């Protein structure tokens, strides 16, 4: 669910001091976005943004579901996008990320 190599690379790119702030901003923005995520005219754009942010922080499963939903919305099948699965994937990814982050970065 998490690409730890991507996480480590991002930490090196932004610097150790700024990494925690990047993570905090990512988590806050995604959680806020997920509360308003709906089958509406913005779905494709919102999923595109979530996909990109998630990839940057290594949330691969979550990003993949966003990518699938983005394609569906682009085809006009936005109402078929499983928003519950996207939210669940984020929650599971977030839990794993936070539970394992310190240990993974210490290695």
Rounded to 5 degrees, φ, ψ at 3 are -90, 95
Angle, CA 53 vertex, CA 68 and CA 94 arms, to 5°: 85
Write down the pLDDT at residue 2: 97
Write phi, then psi, for 59 (nearest 5 degrees): -85, 75
Neighbours of 58 (CB within 10 A): 21
Say if CB 66 and CB 50 are below 8 A apart: yes
Task: Give the HSE-up count for residue 33: Cα atoms under 13 Å, Cβ half-sphere.
Answer: 23
pTM for the predicted model, two decimal places: 0.94
Average pLDDT estimate for 14-23: 94
Average pLDDT over residues 65-70: 98
Full DSSP string of 25-41: HHHHHHHHHHHH--SST
Residue 106 corresponds to which tokens in the numbers above? 């210490």
Dihedral sign (CA 64, 70, 75, 81): positive
Range of the domain at 18: 4-106
Residues 23-40: pLDDT tens digits? 999 999 999 999 999 999
Per the structure, the count of domains in the chain is 1
């Amino acid at each position: 669910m998490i690409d730890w190599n991507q996480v480590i690379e991002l930490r090196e790119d932004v610097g150790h001091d700024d990494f925690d702030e990047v993570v905090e901003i990512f988590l806050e923005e995604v959680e806020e976005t997920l509360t308003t995520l709906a089958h509406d005219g913005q779905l494709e754009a919102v999923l595109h943004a979530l996909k990109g942010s998630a990839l940057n922080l290594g949330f691969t499963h979550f990003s993949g579901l966003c990518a699938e939903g983005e394609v569906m919305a682009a085809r006009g099948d936005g109402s078929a996008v499983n928003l519950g699965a996207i939210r669940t994937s984020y929650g599971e990814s977030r839990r794993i990320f936070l539970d394992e982050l310190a240990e993974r970065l210490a290695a």
